[in-house]
């Protein structure tokens, strides 16, 4: 599956270039990179979660990729959380994945806790509020409710030092309970698998 939107080319500090969907309503790039969407699609296809949750819907590019993978797996729903509607519903309709997505307006981590405490979710993609405190709070909520074998992924591990520090502190605090992998895209992806 290849989802194509208007794109821009970005260059990071190491002169690596990446393609990213254009965030049409903002002056700065806010959507995940094209290859991050493809990575999420492949990961969800591979690990076949029961259900998934995402913080930070924005215009819906990552959600479309996750939902398409759930649709192709013939299993699961995606709950996606953001503080306002940035027009993602139109994209969900265009890519015919609306039936696999439950969009929720509100603020994480409170809404995240409400969802994961009542639903059987074992895959998360964190890309909401880009502060260390918010990411750490989301990680702790997922830790409380996720069982062994669940996956927690997130965006901007390389771009934001606060996020890197929060993820590293979380893994250190729960030493031996998670496997951690870092994917070096333009912004960086972290993948945690709960092993205990």
Res. 4 pLDDT band, cuts 50 70 90: low
Q: In 3-state terms, the chain is what percent helix, strand and coil (to 5)?
A: 35, 25, 40
- The single-letter DSSP state of residue 76 is -
> Is the predicted pLDDT of residue 160 greater than 50, yes or no?
yes
Tally the C-alpha atoms within 13 A of residue 77's C-alpha that lie toward its C-beta: 12
Ramachandran region of residue 188, left (φ > 0), alpha (ψ -120 to 50) or beta? left
pLDDT (mean) for 96-118: 96
More confident residue, 4 or 67: 67
pLDDT (mean) for 164-184: 97
> Is the predicted pLDDT of residue 48 greater than 90, yes or no?
yes
The CATH number fitting domain 7-194, selected from 3.40.50.300, 3.40.50.150, 1.10.10.10, 3.40.718.10: 3.40.50.150
Q: For residue 131, what pLDDT is reported?
A: 94
- The single-letter DSSP state of residue 176 is T
| Percentage of the chain exceeding pLDDT 70 | 88
Res. 121 pLDDT band, cuts 50 70 90: very high
User: What is the pLDDT of the chain when averaged over all its residues?
Assistant: 90
pLDDT (mean) for 133-161: 97
177 class by beta-carbon count within 10 Å (0-12 exposed, 13-18 middle, 19+ buried) = middle
| DSSP annotation string for 89-144 | HHHHHHTT-GGGEEEEES-TTHHHHHHHHHS---EEEE-SS-SHHHHHHHHHHHHH
Q: For residue 17, what pLDDT is reported?
A: 73
Question: DSSP 3-state assignment of 41?
Answer: helix
**Max mean pLDDT range (5-9, 58-62, 173-177):** 173-177
> Is the predicted pLDDT of residue 98 greater than 60, yes or no?
yes
Q: For residue 122, what pLDDT is reported?
A: 98
> Is the predicted pLDDT of residue 27 greater than 80, yes or no?
no
User: What pTM was computed for the model?
Assistant: 0.88
| Percentage of the chain exceeding pLDDT 90 | 70
More confident residue, 45 or 17: 45
pLDDT (mean) for 51-59: 95
| DSSP annotation string for 178-196 | EEEEEE-SSS-EEEEEE--
């Amino acid at each position: 599956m290849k989802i194509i939107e208007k794109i821009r080319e970005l260059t990071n500090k190491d002169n690596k270039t990446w393609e990213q969907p254009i965030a049409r309503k903002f002056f700065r790039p806010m959507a995940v990179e094209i290859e991050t969407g493809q990575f999420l699609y492949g990961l969800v296809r591979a690990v076949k979660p029961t259900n998934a949750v995402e913080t930070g819907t924005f215009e819906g590019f990552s959600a479309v990729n996750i939902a398409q993978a759930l649709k192709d797996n013939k299993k699961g729903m995606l709950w996606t959380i953001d503080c306002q509607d940035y027009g993602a519903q139109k994209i969900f309709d265009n890519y015919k994945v609306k039936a696999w997505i439950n969009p929720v307006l509100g603020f994480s981590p409170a809404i995240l806790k409400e969802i994961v405490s009542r639903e059987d979710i074992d895959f998360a993609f964190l890309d909401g509020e880009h502060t260390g405190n918010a990411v750490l709070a989301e990680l702790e909520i997922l830790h409380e409710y996720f069982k062994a074998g669940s996956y927690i992924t997130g965006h901007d591990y390389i771009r934001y030092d606060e996020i890197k520090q929060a993820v590293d502190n979380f893994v250190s605090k729960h030493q031996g309970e998670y496997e951690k992998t870092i994917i070096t895209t333009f912004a960086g992806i972290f993948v945690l698998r709960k092993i205990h």
